[in-house]
């Protein structure tokens, strides 16, 4: 969450991290709960040294409250009824997801003292804070419209404000408000209250006092041609959200939260996301975490995304039946034909999820995607619309920007290989091959497999990783050999791009199709002075049993999915003891958790061994802006140990 500087100075001390099954210091109950997703979550009490943030209260809240608040002034009588005991199914939160981050926001903005008090009132006096919130502010369509001042932005790019019930002297919850900016006075419609932590959710209705951040000259994107209708829509969006906004769907679509902000501010916000992730999720003494370096900027701020996956739903089944019933009496064939026509005319929306709703916003253009993708989107949408009756359920359209296919006979890289000037094409078949060039390295992979989505920043991201592993020392080749493990390697981006700095490289990846292409990519890009590159398919931790790299000469690069690394992987990584660990991640919170685990456990191990060494330390952390205009920050952390 980003607070304005003057407010940050007064914000409470960041809470200690959430305990984890990986953390030997975590309370036993927390370890058990974290180990078993079915287990009830650990209840926070005021006695607990807040090793768990104030989410995740596992027991159903008391059905009757001993100290009921005054009757609600809500219009809806239903809202006044005492709520039945809720047999809530508590789902474990996504690791490092919105809920876990939100619980820390609550601690930071309401303050630990206030949160402890709310928990105590719940435990001792049976206050049911969700029921009280529903009575005070309503929910769903019956929710109340209120005015609030935005205090900060959370890590997901939403404004946060405090909610204080009428007559109370202190807030009881935070409310998250998409599309609102810090310091703004806004009118919101409250529609949902989190059951497990003190957070509500609202829609933004009006910006009553806009932030000066929204003021900017209009700058149109180069080469973009807009229909009159689109121009009108965009003008209306800019009138509400500011002139920097380039997307006519801003305010509805759930992506690209940062559009009203200058690019420099976006980079600073991402730097702060990294700071907060390590402060809240690493479990480390702040002295062990360096201040995040400047965010690596993306050369392209718009038109950079090389993959887009718009979704659509089919007409609800009742829709068809209703039309069939209407057509009854006209004869089966006529009835079916009419129903078919109605099905076709159903208002299909193809695009992305509406913010805060389970609805799809119809998107004809996505300004962060490349031109090739946007051109292909037109035909892709038409195809779905004309064939909608053939779909039994909703689906996702795949659009991937690619260089045209390589001639089949070209299996090795020409010596005069140069940046391609070929016009790009759009691939829509999951099993087809896409081809990308990153600097002087060329990759092919199956269109449905993973590849980074912003090609423009990859050369600088690779340079940052190369700087971390260091240049190849002179003398390499006669004794001082260097080794790289690329875990979660995909189709070989890091392994192959770094091959000129190592003698041997081994990559591992769970997706068989990616490994097939990684092997071909290694072959295509092979050349003198480059490492022998091997790939295997399997779980990342399987690599450790089959390599014999000397630890002091080995670097390990990790780039796991959002949930981070498995405990098995971390344990074996620690046992290998590579000299350098480079951790790239699209979820800085799970990254911070894993890095914290490595630092703490390696220190404990060295202590047990009386080695006099301190284990891994964090040399640097920073964000890379792979997802401009959105809240997503790619984390890059470098860990070293004494060799
Ligand atoms: C964020 S991607 C990184 C891919 C690659 N490093 C790149 O930059 O193109 C994460 C990759 O981890 C793979 N993966 C997920 N779980 C895995 C596991 N347990 N072991 C190995 N690979 C896994 C996914 O298939 C995906 O390709």
> What's the pLDDT tens digit per position in 595-634?
999 999 999 999 999 999 999 999 999 999 999 999 999 9
Q: Respond yes or no on whether ipTM tops 0.95.
A: yes
Q: How far is the CA of 348 from the centre of ligand 1 (A)?
A: 34
Q: Over 50: is that where the pLDDT of 45 sits?
A: no
Q: Is residue 176 part of a domain?
A: yes
Tell whether residue 206 is among the known ligand binding residues. no
Atom from ligand 1 closest to the CA of residue 451: 9
Angle of helix 567-576 versus helix 588-608 axis, rounded to 10: 50
Number of domains in the chain: 1
Query: Does 134 map to a domain?
Result: yes
Cα 96 from Cα 94, distance rounded (Å): 6
| 101 found inside a domain | yes
Q: Write out the E strands in 320-461.
A: 350-353, 360-362, 395-396, 399-402, 425-427, 433-438, 441-446
In a domain, residue 196? The reply is yes
The pairing of strands 634-640 and 554-558 is: unpaired
State in Å: Cα 377 to ligand 1 middle: 27
Euclidean distance between CA atoms 58 and 61, whole angstroms: 9
CA–CA dist 55, 42 (Å, integer):
9
- Check if 242 has its Cβ closer than 6 Å to any atom of ligand 1: no
Look at residue 442 in the predicted model and tell me its pLDDT.
Answer: 97
State in Å: Cα 514 to ligand 1 middle: 9
Output 78 or 602, whichever has higher pLDDT: 602
Query: Is residue 490 within 6 Å of ligand 1 at its C-beta?
Result: yes
Task: Decide if pLDDT at 87 tops 50.
Answer: no
Using DSSP bridges, classify how beta strands 504-509 and 532-537 pair: parallel, antiparallel or unpaired: parallel
Residue 436, ligand 1, Cβ within 6 A: no
* CA pair distance 237, 235, nearest whole angstrom: 5
616 among annotated binding-site residues: no
* Distance (Å) from CA 488 to ligand 1 centroid: 4
Nearest atom in ligand 1 to 586's CA? 1
587 within ligand 1 shell (Cβ under 6 A)? no
Q: Is position 51 within any domain? A: yes
CA neighbours closer than 13 Å in the CB half-sphere of residue 523: 10
Residue among 240, 279, 275, 244 nearest 259 (CA) = 244
- Does the pTM exceed 0.90? no
With a 6 Å cutoff on the Cβ, whether 365 touches ligand 1 is no
Confidence of residue 476 (pLDDT cuts 50, 70, 90): low
Which range is most confident: 80-84, 352-356, 498-502? Answer: 498-502
Domain with 20 in it:
5-204
Percentage helix, strand, coil for the chain under 3-state DSSP, each rounded to 5: 35, 20, 50
Tell me if 409 is assigned to a ligand binding site.
no
Residue 531 lies in a domain: no
Let me know if 253 is a catalytic residue.
Answer: no
Instruction: Write out pLDDT tens, residues 161-199.
Output: 999 999 999 999 999 999 999 999 999 999 999 998 999
- The rounded distance, in Å, linking the Cα atoms of 122 and 240 is 40
286 CB-near residues (< 8 Å, 6+ apart)? 279
* Tokens describing residue 18: 């959430």
CB 499 within 8 A of CB 525: yes
Asked, for residue 521, whether it belongs to a domain, the answer is no
* 450 C-beta closer than 6 A to ligand 1: yes
């Amino acid at each position: 969450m980003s607070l304005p500087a003057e407010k940050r100075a007064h914000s409470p001390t960041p809470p200690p991290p959430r305990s984890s099954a990986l953390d030997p210091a975590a309370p036993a109950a927390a370890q058990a709960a974290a180990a078993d997703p079915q287990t009830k979550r650990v209840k926070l009490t005021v006695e607990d040294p807040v090793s768990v943030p104030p989410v995740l209260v596992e027991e159903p809240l008391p059905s009757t409250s001993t100290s009921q608040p005054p009757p609600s002034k809500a219009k809806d009588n239903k809202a006044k009824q005492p709520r039945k005991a809720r047999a809530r199914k508590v789902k474990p939160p996504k690791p490092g997801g919105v809920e876990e981050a939100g619980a820390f926001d609550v601690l930071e903005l309401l303050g630990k003292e206030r949160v402890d008090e709310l928990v105590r009132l719940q435990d001792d006096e049976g206050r049911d804070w969700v029921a009280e919130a529903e009575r005070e502010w309503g929910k769903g369509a019956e929710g109340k419209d209120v005015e609030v001042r935005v205090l900060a932005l959370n890590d997901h790019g939403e404004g946060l404000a405090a909610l204080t019930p009428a007559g109370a002297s202190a807030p009881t919850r935070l409310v998250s408000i998409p599309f609102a900016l810090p310091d703004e006075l806004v009118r919101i419609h409250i529609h949902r209250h989190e059951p497990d932590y003190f957070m509500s959710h609202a829609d933004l209705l009006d910006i009553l006092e806009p932030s000066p951040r929204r003021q900017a000259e209009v700058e149109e994107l180069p080469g973009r041609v807009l229909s009159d209708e689109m121009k009108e829509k965009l003008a209306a969006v800019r009138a509400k959200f500011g002139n920097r906004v380039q997307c006519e769907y801003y305010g509805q679509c759930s992506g690209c939260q940062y559009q009203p902000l200058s690019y420099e501010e976006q980079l600073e916000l991402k730097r702060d996301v990294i700071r907060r992730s390590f402060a809240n999720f690493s479990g480390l003494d702040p002295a062990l975490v360096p201040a995040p370096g400047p965010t690596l900027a993306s050369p392209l701020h718009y038109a950079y995304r090389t993959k887009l996956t718009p979704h659509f739903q089919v007409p609800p089944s009742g829709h068809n039946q209703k039309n069939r019933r209407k057509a009854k009496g006209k004869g089966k064939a006529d009835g079916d034909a009419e129903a078919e026509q109605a099905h076709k005319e159903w208002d299909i929306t193809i695009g992305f999820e509406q913010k805060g709703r389970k609805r799809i916003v119809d998107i004809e253009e996505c300004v962060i995607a490349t031109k090739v993708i946007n051109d292909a989107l037109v035909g892709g949408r038409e195809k779905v619309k004309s064939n909608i009756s053939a779909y039994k359920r909703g689906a996702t359209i795949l659009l991937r920007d690619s260089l045209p296919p390589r001639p089949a006979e070209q299996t090795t890289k020409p010596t005069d290989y140069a940046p391609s000037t070929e016009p790009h094409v759009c691939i829509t078949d999951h099993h087809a091959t896409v081809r990308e060039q990153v600097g002087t390295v060329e990759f092919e992979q199956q269109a449905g497999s993973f590849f980074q989505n912003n090609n423009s920043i990859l050369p600088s991201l690779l340079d940052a990783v190369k700087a971390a592993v260091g240049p190849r020392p002179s003398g390499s080749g006669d004794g001082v050999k260097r080794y790289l493990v690329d875990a979660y390697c995909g189709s070989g981006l890091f392994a192959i791009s770094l091959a000129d700095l190592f003698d041997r490289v081994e990559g591992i990846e769970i997706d068989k199709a990616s490994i097939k292409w990684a092997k071909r990519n290694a072959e295509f890009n092979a050349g003198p002075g480059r490492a022998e590159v091997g790939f295997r398919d399997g779980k990342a931790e399987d690599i450790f049993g089959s390599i014999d790299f000397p630890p002091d000469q080995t670097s390990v690069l990790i780039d796991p999915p959002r949930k981070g690394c498995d405990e098995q992987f971390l344990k074996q990584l620690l046992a290998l003891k590579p000299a350098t660990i480079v951790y790239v991640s699209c979820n800085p919170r799970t990254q911070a958790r894993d890095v914290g685990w490595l630092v703490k456990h390696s220190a404990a191990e060295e202590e047990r061994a009386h080695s006099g060494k301190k284990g891994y330390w964090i040399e640097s952390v920073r964000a890379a802006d792979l997802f401009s205009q959105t809240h997503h920050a790619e984390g890059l952390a470098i860990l070293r140990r004494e060799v």
